[in-house]
Amino acid sequence: MDKIPSNIIKSKMKLKGIKSKELAERLKEYDENLTELSLNNKFSRGGFSAVFFFKCMKALDVEVLRDEEWR
């Protein structure tokens, strides 16, 4: 079963020791004005654009996603 994008973002956050509040702050650089609560709500719904996913990856300084991370 494929992982949902929010789980990939959360796992990258955990690996880098970044909390939702910090990610929300970092995303402001990419024109995303979210609070910690609104970011967590977005993750729980699981529905967001590919653009938002890649903004999160950029904000987390993730340059490479391996194929096995999607399975």
Contacts of 18 (CB under 8 A, 6+ apart): 26, 60
What is the pLDDT at residue 1? Answer: 40
pTM: 0.87
The pLDDT mean for the chain works out to 90
Q: Which two tokens stand for residue 25?
A: 């702050």
Residue 2 scores a pLDDT above 70: no
Q: What is the pLDDT of residues 28-45, one digit of tens each?
A: 999 999 999 999 999 988
What ranges in the chain are assigned the alpha helix state H?
Answer: 5-16, 20-27, 36-45, 50-59
Orientation angle between helical segments 5-16 and 20-27, nearest 10 degrees = 100
3-state class (DSSP) for residue 41 = helix
Please report, for the chain, the start and end positions of each structural domain, with discontinuous segments joined by +. Answer: 5-60
